[in-house]
């Protein structure tokens, strides 16, 4: 299930408002001094350049869901949606059983019985697809709520970190901002601040790291699932419902 944050305008609003507060200088500071007027009138403030003007990147989506709060809330949503995923799996298994029955007994069925069974499979297939879409939509809505809530608190922290450390520009490198769908063609990982922002946000939020349940493999051994680290931009709600099979 591909989940995305509906964040474009929201991010701009959060970071812009935070930047305004972060750039408020006390009276008497050098930033408060007016720039020298030119012959044509007052000149605009110069753009920061030189060694002190740094560019950084952050994967906003990964930062949100790699934070302890994001993992905790994502795991809660995944647990909440588990019954519906189990229900979808049951529906899918039923359809597969009917398809198997049609394939193995089709030659012995009369035309009416075969047509009735085919129609039953088609109806159940459509119902499964609708239920699958409803589950994905619910998961997306839950993810968006989590993402926007955390971003309200994380946004000002990003702006403060950038201001305190001499960054002139921070670029979001979330999946949908990568080339060719976005402006980020390539980046040096040394300028990425995602991890440091996650670490600082965890301290600020006070939310402890959620315990990771052990998953049992078919052989009986146990392994730990992924912890939603910085290499992924998907929350715990990203488990895909059972795939539907094409009609036969």
Tens digits of residue pLDDT in 178-217: 888 888 888 889 999 999 999 999 999 999 999 876 655 4
Predicted TM-score (pTM) of this structure: 0.65
The pLDDT value recorded for residue 175 is 81
Q: Longest Cα pair distance anywhere in the chain, in angstroms?
A: 96
- Respond yes or no on whether the N-terminal peptide bond of residue 180 is cis (omega within 30° of 0): yes
Sign of CA dihedral 80, 239, 1, 177: positive
Q: Where are the alpha helices (DSSP H) in the chain?
A: 8-22, 60-66, 68-105, 111-164, 194-205
The pLDDT value recorded for residue 181 is 82
Residue 63 to residues 88, 113, 122, 166, 201, Cα–Cα distance (Å): 31, 56, 42, 21, 9
Where exactly are the structural domains of the chain? 8-21+50-82+141-238
Mean pLDDT score of the chain: 75
Rounded percentage of the chain residues whose pLDDT exceeds 70 = 65
Q: How far apart are CA 18 and CA 170, in angstroms?
A: 14
* pLDDT higher than 50, residue 165: yes
Burial code of 102-111, b = ≥16 C-beta within 10 A, e = fewer? beeeeeeeee
Rounded percentage of the chain residues whose pLDDT exceeds 90 = 51
Q: How far apart are CA 182 and CA 175, in angstroms?
A: 9
Average pLDDT over residues 164-168: 94
Q: How far apart are CA 31 and CA 33, in angstroms?
A: 6
Average pLDDT over residues 94-112: 89
Q: How far apart are CA 188 and CA 178, in angstroms?
A: 14
* pLDDT higher than 50, residue 24: no
Reduce the DSSP state of residue 112 to 3 states and report it. Answer: helix
Reduce the DSSP state of residue 184 to 3 states and report it. Answer: strand
* pLDDT higher than 90, residue 93: yes
Reduce the DSSP state of residue 16 to 3 states and report it. Answer: helix
* pLDDT higher than 80, residue 78: yes
Least confident of 163-167, 195-199, 244-248: 244-248
The pLDDT value recorded for residue 128 is 96
């Amino acid at each position: 299930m591909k989940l995305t944050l509906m964040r474009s305008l929201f991010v701009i609003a959060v970071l812009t408002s935070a930047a305004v507060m972060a750039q408020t200088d006390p009276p008497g500071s050098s930033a408060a001094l007016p720039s020298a007027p030119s012959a044509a009138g007052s000149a605009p403030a110069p753009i920061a350049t030189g060694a002190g003007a740094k560019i950084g990147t952050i994967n906003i989506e990964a930062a949100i869901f790699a934070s302890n709060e994001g993992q905790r809330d994502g795991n809660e949503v995944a647990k909440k949606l588990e019954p519906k995923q189990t229900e979808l799996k049951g529906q899918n298994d039923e359809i597969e059983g009917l398809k198997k029955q049609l394939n193995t007994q089709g030659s012995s069925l009369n035309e009416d019985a075969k047509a009735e069974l085919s129609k039953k499979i088609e109806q159940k297939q459509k119902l499964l697809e609708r239920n699958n879409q409803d589950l994905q939509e619910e998961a997306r809505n839950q993810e968006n709520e989590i993402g926007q809530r955390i971003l309200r608190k994380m946004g000002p922290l990003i702006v403060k970190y950038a201001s305190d450390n001499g960054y002139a520009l921070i670029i979001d490198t979330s999946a949908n901002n990568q080339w060719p769908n976005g402006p980020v063609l390539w980046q040096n990982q040394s300028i990425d601040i995602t991890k440091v922002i996650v670490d600082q946000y965890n301290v600020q939020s006070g939310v402890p790291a959620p315990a990771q349940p052990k998953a049992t493999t078919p052989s009986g051994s146990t392994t730990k699932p992924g912890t939603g680290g910085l290499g992924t931009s998907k929350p715990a709600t990203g488990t895909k419902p059972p795939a539907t099979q094409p009609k036969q």
